[in-house]
Structure formats: structure tokens, C-alpha cells
Amino acid sequence: MEKQITALQISHILGEDYPRGWVESLIEIPKKEKFGDAAFPCFALAKSMRKSPAVIAGEIAARLKHPVFDSVEVQSGYINIFFDRAFITEHTLNQVLEDPGAYGSHTFGEGKNAVFDMSSPNIAKPFSMGHLRSTVIGNALANLVEKCGYQAVKVNYIGDYGTQFGKLLAAYTRWGDPKVVEEDPIKELTKLYVTFHEEAEEEPALIEEGREWFKKLEAQDPEALLLWNWFREASLQEFDTLYEMLGVDFDLTRGEAYYTDKMEPVIQQLEDKGLLEKSEGADVVQLDESMPPCLIRKSNGTTTYATRDLAAAIDRYQSYPFEKSLYVVGNEQTLHFNQIKQVLKKAGFEWADRMEHVSFGMILQDGQKMSTRKGKTVLLEEVLEEAVDQALMNIKEKNPDLMNPEETARQVGVGAVIFHDLKQDRRHDIEFSLEDMLTFEGNTGPYLQYTHARACSLLRKGGFSPEDSKTAGGDPESWSLVKMMRAFPEVTASACSTNDPSKAARYLLDLGRSFNQYYAKSKIIGSPTQQENLTLVYAFTVVMKEGLRLLGMAAPEHM
């Protein structure tokens, strides 16, 4: 609010040639409090106004007045603005306390759908760390869009179709043992898949055998369908266990196979619009010069991943007319996504421009991409279990009398894994390191959860009840914390608009540090202002808990 007020005031002083939005884009938040709570640099005005930045700053500062400003200073071409701390503190706390669950909410998405294509593991393969990113980034973004008023629709688009399943069927019919597969379906099917690729290097004819099995599957061959259904159901059961651990649910779980009977109408539409062309026996759609043609149907008559994605996009818009459709998939899918979007636009679907690729980097192991076919993967279930075990050891060591330590360890361990991912810029690759992920100090999820629990402990010790809140304030020790809490609505809006949950994660680290500095410097309980202090602490727990919830993490009150 203060930033907008400041921009409006300066814009009004400068005149209509300097709109508020432009002024606001220049306003900075000084790193040191001695330079104010906001600063406006006047250097960009020097040329047009034909004056030095220092003179301009002085002229603007002399006219800059508003009840929210405590004082204004001029320094080296900057206007440094100090806000009224008592007013801001009381106003912020009242906003938080008025409706704790709603603080940081917005209405700009009201009445609009946001559809998410996220997680999307492949059946008959273990849920690896490689699928963690799509799952937790998608879940956090879905929480953020709902915070901003949208109706989020989370779609788990299961990989259950395509030539890789022809390879798996070929492998099973050659080497599979039904009893062994029954005992541990995913582990054994993964072994068969790896074996297929190892053997295919020596016997290339296996690749053609895999293609033939996929043709059988597309033709609804009874044997192929029976095996495929078995593999699919076994996989979904295992996935559900992991989603429960992560606290992630979906509005719709739908595999590629669902679109088997919906692809032909899409192909016909492309044909009717004159977009399909023959290329070496295959059907393709030519795109602009910046990308290769989109393969729609192979020369052997089988469909492609692109065909299914086109059918899925059309089906989603028909089912949930969306304001935006977010595809939370890896950087390596950028070309594919752009092709799909271009085909839909050429076919006349105006809503194609509402589709966005929320790309992210890979989780690497020793600098290399994880690969199921090479047998090189790290299982998410094992990572989560180890994280929970280590959290339990830490809890028993530091707080042996804690009630229900297993549940707290689950919240902390899973939270550590989620936060380690979300604090990163999603576009960058992440080197897998269990040691870094499970460090319970520094810029980690457990640090935030412990800070929240510490604040809850203070509230219990002081016998605080929200009904006894007193919002007077403005003391120097609490100012940084108040400003951080004040920034929460701006952070949620920005993280939503830019599809970047790391903004929320990094904000929570700053918020946690501000609270711990306040805790270290202030006598919270036993001071004449105890009730005001505890009101501030309570407001902090509200914001931290909600911030963690948006990231998909729990906020334990005891640790």
C-alpha cells in the first residue's frame, strides 16, 4: 500500500508525463533502514527536466506530504521516505487479525479457472525424484492461484500410453514372471524395462517388437489391454501412497490412454482445416521457421504424444473453460509445448494463448540426468523415508518429551524435501544431494517450522488468546518484522502472477530471520507491553503458517 501511495504522490507532483506505474517501477526498498523505508531515485528525470538529480529530489521532497509519511530526506539524488511506524504497525496487525486465513488474499482471479497439468508420472515405473519438481511446484502454484481468487483444477496427466509401453509389454512377454511381478510390481516392471533397453543394444529387432506391441494396444488387443490395465492399477496404488505423504491431491487423474478415442476427431479437424501434410508417409503440421513440423501420426499409423496432448488441451477447455492453463513440465519439453500451442492456434483455437509452459530444470545425479531406462534413478519414497527418520532422530535428541514425535517428524522431514525444491529458481537444474536436502539449519524448511513452533511456544507461555489482542506498536525492534508481514500480500500476488513459488519460499526465509532478530533483541514476556508484543508474535504465526501452507508444508506448533 505504501509503495502505491508514494508512487501516486510523486506522480501527481511530476505531472501526467510521469504515470504512477512508471514511478512505482523505480521505487526501491533500501537495504539499510537508515536510508528509509522506501527510496525514489531521481536520475531518470535529469535529462527530461534538465536539472541535476539532487535538485529534482529536493523539489519533489518539499512537496511530498501524506499522513503515512513520518519524514522525508534527500541524499545524493535519492528521496528517502520514512513511514509512520505506529500507524503502519497498527494497520498491519489489524489486517492480519481481522480474518487470519484471508490475509494475503486477492480477488483478481475471481470467477476464473486455472487448470494445471502437473506431476504426470509414468505407470510401471517408480516415482523418482525426477517427478518431485512437477508435483510440488504445481501444488504450490495451485495454492497460490486459489489465494488470488482463481478456481484451481489440478490434473494428474498420467503417462500410460505410447511406444514405451509397447516396449514394456514386449519385455514382459519375453522375460516376465507373473508371480514375481505380483510380489513387487513396480520394482520388477522397472527391471524388465531396463533389461529391454540393454538387450535391444545387442538385438535391434526388439525395438520393432516394442512398436508392434504398441500397435496391438492401440488396436485394443485383449492380451495387451489385460497386461496394460494390470500395470496401470498397480502403479496408481503406489503413486497414491506418495501423494498422501506429500499432502498433494488432484481434482482429476487422467492418463493419456483416456484420449484414445478422442484423437481421431482432432486429426480430422486438422485435415478439414487443410493443416495436415504428408512427410515420408507420416502426417505432420508445418509450423513457422523457428520450429520443426509437429508429428501427428507416424507412418505406421500410430499416434504420438503430440496427438494426445492436442486432444487433452481441447478436452480441458471444454470441461473447464480456463483463463490460464499451466503445464508444469521440464525445460526439455519447451519445443514440444510450443509446437502444441502453435498447432492449436493454426487450427483456430483462440484460447491457445492462455496456455503457459511453467518450465523447470532437472534434478541431476552426479551432473547427469536421472534415467529409468539406464537404471539410474533415486526413488522419492526412499528420500522421504530417510528425511522423516532423520527428523525423528533430531526431535528425540532435542525434545525427548515431545508428544507424538512421529507425526512431527513426518511434517518436518517431508517439509524439508518440499522446501529444498521450492526455494530454488525453478528454471535451474538442481544437483541431488540428500545431505543438503536434510540439513536442519540455515535456509531450510525445518528452520522455518522451528521458528513457527518457537513463536507458538511464546504464545503458550504468555497465556495469549487472540481475543486479548492489542495492536498498538511502533517500537524500533519490531519494525523490520512488521514490514516483512506487511509485504505478504504483495508476495502472494507476485508469486502467482509470475508462476514462481520460490518468491514465496525466499520471503518466508526473510520473515523467519526478521522474527528471530526480534526475538533475540526484545523482552517479549514480562515487559510492560507484553500483550502488544504477543499480538505481534501471534500475527507472525498467522503469516508464517499460511505461507508454509501455500508451499504445501505443515506448521507444527511443537518441535
Domain residue ranges of the chain, discontinuous segments joined by +: 2-83, 380-551
Residue 301 has pLDDT above 80, yes or no: yes
32-83 residue pLDDT tens: 989 999 999 999 999 999 999 999 999 999 999 998 999 999 999 999 999 9
pTM of the model: 0.91
Average pLDDT, the chain: 93
On whether the CB atoms of residues 257 and 225 are closer than 8 A, the answer is: no
- For the chain, give the percent of residues with pLDDT over 70: 98
What pLDDT does residue 435 have? 76
Residue 488 has pLDDT above 70, yes or no: yes
Residue 355 has pLDDT above 90, yes or no: yes
Could you give the dihedral angle defined by the CA atoms of residues 480, 481, 486 and 490, in that order, rounded to the nearest 10 degrees? 80
114-137 residue pLDDT tens: 999 999 998 888 888 878 999 999
166-191 residue pLDDT tens: 999 999 999 999 999 989 888 899 89
Mean per-residue pLDDT for 540-546? Answer: 98
What pLDDT does residue 474 have? 64
Long-range contacts of 462-467 (CB under 8 A, 24+ apart): 462/524, 462/525, 462/530, 462/534, 464/531, 464/534, 464/535, 464/537, 464/538, 466/97, 466/100, 466/538
Name residue 177's amino acid. Answer: D
Residue 472 has pLDDT above 80, yes or no: no
On whether the CB atoms of residues 391 and 468 are closer than 8 A, the answer is: no
Give me the residues paired with residue 128 across strands.
379
In terms of Cα–Cα distance, which of 525, 459, 511 is closest to 480? Answer: 511
Helix, strand, or coil (residue 296): strand
Q: Do domains 2-83 and 380-551 have the same CATH topology?
A: no
What pLDDT does residue 431 have? 83
**Residue 287: all three cell numbers together:** 509450423
CATH 1.10.730.10 is right for the domain spanning 380-551: yes
Name residue 355's amino acid. Answer: M
On whether the CB atoms of residues 556 and 453 are closer than 8 A, the answer is: yes
What pLDDT does residue 509 have? 97
Q: What's 293's DSSP letter?
A: P
**473 vs 392, residue with greater confidence:** 392
On whether the CB atoms of residues 513 and 470 are closer than 8 A, the answer is: no
360-419 residue pLDDT tens: 998 887 777 765 445 556 788 888 999 999 999 989 998 999 999 999 999 999 999 999
228-261 residue pLDDT tens: 999 999 889 889 999 999 999 999 999 999 998 9
**What's the CATH number of domain 2-83, 2.60.450.10, 3.30.1360.70, 3.40.50.150, 3.40.50.920?**
3.30.1360.70
φ/ψ of 365, rounded to 5, equals: -125, 115
Name residue 158's amino acid. Answer: I
What is the Cα 532 distance to its own chain's centre? 35
What pLDDT does residue 33 have? 87
What pLDDT does residue 320 have? 97
